[in-house]
A and B are shown apart, each in its own frame.
Chain A
Amino acid sequence: MSETPAQKLDEEDADDEPTPVQSGAESVVRALENAGVETLFGVTGGAIMPVYDALYDSDMRHVTMGHEQGAAHAADAYGIVSGDPGVCLATSGPGATNLVTGIADADMDSDPMVALTGQVPTALVGNDAFQETDTTGVTAPITKFNSFAQDPDGVGDDVGEAFALAREGRQGPTLVDLPKDVTQGDADREPAPPQSPETYDPPERADAEAVAEAARAIAEAERPVILAGGGVIKANASPELRAFARDYGIPVVTTMPGLGSFPEDDDLALGFAGMHGTGYANLAVTHTDVMLAVGTRFDDRLTGGVDSFAPEAEVVHVDIDPAEISKNIHADYPLLGDAETVLDQLQEAMPGEPPAAEWRARCQQWKADYPMDYATPDDEPLKPEFVVEALDEATGADTIVTTGVGQHQMWACQYWEFTEPRTWVSSHGLGTMGYGLPAAIGARFAADEDQSVVAFEGDGSLLMTVQELSVAVREHLDITVAVLNNEYVGMVRQWQDGFYEGRHMASEYSWCPDFAKLAEAFGARGFTVDDYDAVADTVEAALEYDGPSVIDFHVDPQENVFPMVPSGGENGRFAMNDDQLEQL
């Protein structure tokens, strides 16, 4: 008997209704769908198989990565670019421990991420079963929160809670450990929408009286500076920060994670401060009398020696995490709350513009005195700084830049002109070599289609996660990997030259593969560049190629990153070059 159109319509409507969850694994998948997750990064394996089986019927896209570390970095980058938690999956034991570096990375940088790990059946837990690791124990110090799922009916709630906690307040990674009996077990309850625990209550609005006092201090400052951290971007507070700085004529220094919060082509922009920050940023933080620090944890690479960090400044510290207030640098005016909200509060409370015309002129003079102008002599190999600038020129302002860790990362921060938030994706706190390629994959999935994604990598750094190129090829991802290849782990080589009498122990990487050939072997496009003349054309060809490409730039192996503040040194006494470093 044929169906009437009305019956057919009813059935189609019925198809839109999700089928009730029948197992713990289906509850996990439903919880992710309820949270709006579209893309997952993972590697399957024994204990996580029930969840993967439930994914078979889901519309969410699962991206199989080459290694779980790659899955964690891809999820991390997805979270940075989209603002919503990236999700990664792995099995128990080695799957979970392989995620650890990526989770720790997300924790250090407060990146929103949810990790779901398989676990041996509850009955075997504690018996040293095959592929058993105490995952919640291992990850407790590197997650914002983790939990061990107890029952099939509640496991979806656990996942929703992990998602909510990763996203709310100070963002960070969360993890749910999923024993196989819990995911395989019968369930007949729909998971609740993502919800953080009732006892979790991050601050939003700062105390009005405290805001008024801070505003008065800023308005009276003769040498004010804004220090914009990664929290500005996390809180989507870039527009408020820009308005505040421009309305009151306050120069802006960013931290490394804060790159993109304030446009670097603005007159008030001084670049980023810290170990390899610009000279003018470091002078501004050293001589300021009132610092408005927003969403920063005053990391040691930023402050140098605490004794000499902004030593004459009253500090207004805006942060959502009370534990960051006065942890490293004493806050004279602590303002607890969401950066966007508190900047609006400050804006309204400002009694007037600080008398800082002279100070602004001084900052401009420093820009002229300590320029980031590198030389490009004909008789020396290609300078890496030139490569960064060439890629910046060839791509749009909204291009997403990812990096590994080392010299190439520093040149990327120094010579790329960042103008938009969520375009700088790097491993700051943990300093994870090999972050750039898997991060570019995660960023590509989160980015708009017309946004370019460029990964800067070093030779040593890329080698650590190069297997993820297979993923970029399989998924046909349009990313460009620029290898600043100096045949060294160059930052170590630079320190060996500066502080260890040039003894190059374990830092020479002349044995690295031919990266262009390696790229071709994976099915990507490979290019090699040795001199200035070939840079522009090759960059254009690589960018035009609709798929993953790798350009192996053979750069000057002796090039060092400057300016430099030696570890624990005084920011104001940065070295501009080798001679100055020697005299410190």
Chain B
Amino acid sequence: MPRGLEGPAPDERPQPEGRRNEQGIRITPEDAGEQPTHRAVLSAQVWHEPGVLAKVSGLFSRRQFNIESLSVGPTETEGVARITMVIEEHDPGIEQAKKQLQKLVPVIAVRELREEAVERELAMVKLDVRDDPDEVQAVAEMCDGDVVDIGPETITVELTGRESEIDAALETFERFTVREVVRTGTAALARGAEETT
């Protein structure tokens, strides 16, 4: 006699026909398959206190959310900072990221910004001076950039724009000898009278 309890074997039991996908959503066989991911911009108001950024970034790391950029700074209200985060997730992942973020006690409010939100990122690119300074100047102007530092060895250009614009500008600068690049990550506000968070 086998060790354990008695009862009909698994194959003798009725089996359900339905199924769920990895996100726990009921599906028909036709909808099986990976869900596409997309870019989402989240804006959060948080207490402006030590340790809050660590709590936010720790959350994203331990829950394995794909975070593209994160920027933080004070706001119009004393004691309140705003974090702007760009994540790349499928829809349930974006919803979950918003809810997990909102759950942190020092997080006051969270919203996902719509595509028409005003988004800006700042980047600085440092180039070798042996590149033609006039050409650098021309490319910088073309990209709406400013030369912010010229030294005996280097020229530094500042760029602002949407993340995709910065990507394109930096690609253009690849024709020069790029020494260093720094990017702030996206900061964003809702367009018009709409409140960001």
Q: A residues engaging B (CB < 8 A)?
A: 136-137, 140-141, 144-145, 148, 165, 197, 199-200, 279, 283, 286-287, 298, 306-309, 311-313, 321-323, 325-330, 369-375, 558-560, 562-563, 572-581, 583-584
Question: 15 A-B contacts, Cβ less than 8 Å apart?
Answer: A140-B58, A148-B50, A199-B105, A279-B5, A308-B20, A309-B24, A311-B18, A321-B103, A322-B99, A326-B23, A326-B24, A327-B99, A330-B92, A579-B9, A583-B9
- B16 and A330 form a contact (CB under 8 A): no
**Distance from A238 Cβ to chain B, minimum over Cβ atoms (Å):** 26
Q: Per a CB cutoff under 8 Å, which of A328, A369, A575 touches B10?
A: A575
Chain B: which residue is nearest A197 at the CB level? B105
- B20 and A576 form a contact (CB under 8 A): no
- A323 and B96 form a contact (CB under 8 A): yes
Complex CA distance for A306 and B25, rounded to whole angstroms: 9
- A137 and B7 form a contact (CB under 8 A): no
Given A308-B19, A572-B15, A577-B2: A326 and B7 interface contact (C-beta under 8 Å): no
Complex CA distance for A260 and B95, rounded to whole angstroms: 33
Q: Per a CB cutoff under 8 Å, which of A286, A306, A307, A370 touches B7?
A: A370
Complex CA distance for A1 and B6, rounded to whole angstroms: 87
Per the CB 8 Å criterion, the residue count for chain B at the interface is 43
- A199 and B3 form a contact (CB under 8 A): no
Complex CA distance for A562 and B7, rounded to whole angstroms: 11
Complex CA distance for A311 and B17, rounded to whole angstroms: 8
What sequence of 0s and 1s flags, for each residue 40-53 of chain B, a beta carbon within 8 Å of any chain A beta carbon? 00000001001100
- A148 and B51 form a contact (CB under 8 A): yes
- B103 and A323 form a contact (CB under 8 A): yes
**Distance from B55 Cβ to chain A, minimum over Cβ atoms (Å):** 5
The yes or no answer to B62 lying at the interface (CB within 8 A) is: yes
- A298 and B10 form a contact (CB under 8 A): no
- B58 and A141 form a contact (CB under 8 A): yes
The yes or no answer to B54 lying at the interface (CB within 8 A) is: yes
The yes or no answer to B114 lying at the interface (CB within 8 A) is: no
The residues in B between 90 and 131 inclusive whose CB is less than 8 angstroms from any CB of A are 92, 95-96, 99-100, 102-103, 105-106, 108
- B4 and A199 form a contact (CB under 8 A): no
- Which residues of chain B come closer than 8 Å to A372, judged between CB atoms? 5
- Which residues of chain B come closer than 8 Å to A306, judged between CB atoms? 20, 22, 24
- Which residues of chain A come closer than 8 Å to B100, judged between CB atoms? 323
**Distance from A211 Cβ to chain B, minimum over Cβ atoms (Å):** 20
- B10 and A325 form a contact (CB under 8 A): no
The yes or no answer to B175 lying at the interface (CB within 8 A) is: no
Chain B: which residue is nearest A202 at the CB level? B103
**Distance from B49 Cβ to chain A, minimum over Cβ atoms (Å):** 9
- Which residues of chain A come closer than 8 Å to B16, judged between CB atoms? 286-287, 308, 311-312, 572
- B5 and A578 form a contact (CB under 8 A): no
- B103 and A322 form a contact (CB under 8 A): yes
- Which residues of chain A come closer than 8 Å to B7, judged between CB atoms? 279, 369-371, 576
- Which residues of chain A come closer than 8 Å to B6, judged between CB atoms? 371, 373, 576-577
- B105 and A145 form a contact (CB under 8 A): yes
The interface centre, meaning the residue of A144, A283, A330, A584 with most chain B CB atoms within 10 A of its CB, is A330
The yes or no answer to B26 lying at the interface (CB within 8 A) is: yes
Chain A: which residue is nearest B102 at the CB level? A322
**Distance from B85 Cβ to chain A, minimum over Cβ atoms (Å):** 16
Other than the given A326-B96, A573-B15, 17 more pairs (CB < 8 A) read A145-B105, A306-B24, A307-B21, A311-B17, A311-B19, A311-B26, A312-B16, A322-B102, A323-B103, A327-B96, A328-B24, A330-B24, A330-B26, A563-B5, A576-B4, A576-B5, A581-B4
- Which residues of chain A come closer than 8 Å to B99, judged between CB atoms? 322-323, 325, 327
**Distance from B32 Cβ to chain A, minimum over Cβ atoms (Å):** 9
**Distance from A306 Cβ to chain B, minimum over Cβ atoms (Å):** 5
- Which residues of chain B come closer than 8 Å to A145, judged between CB atoms? 105-106
Chain B: which residue is nearest A564 at the CB level? B4
Given A137-B54, A572-B13: A369 and B20 interface contact (C-beta under 8 Å): no
Chain B: which residue is nearest A327 at the CB level? B96
- A560 and B3 form a contact (CB under 8 A): yes
Pairs A-B, 8 closest by C-beta atoms: A577-B4, A311-B18, A579-B2, A562-B4, A329-B24, A370-B7, A573-B10, A323-B99
- B54 and A577 form a contact (CB under 8 A): no
Given A199-B108, A330-B25: A578 and B3 interface contact (C-beta under 8 Å): yes
- A575 and B4 form a contact (CB under 8 A): yes
The yes or no answer to B8 lying at the interface (CB within 8 A) is: yes
Complex CA distance for A145 and B49, rounded to whole angstroms: 13
Complex CA distance for A328 and B23, rounded to whole angstroms: 6
The yes or no answer to B14 lying at the interface (CB within 8 A) is: yes
What sequence of 0s and 1s flags, for each residue 68-100 of chain B, a beta carbon within 8 Å of any chain A beta carbon? 000000000000000000000000100110011
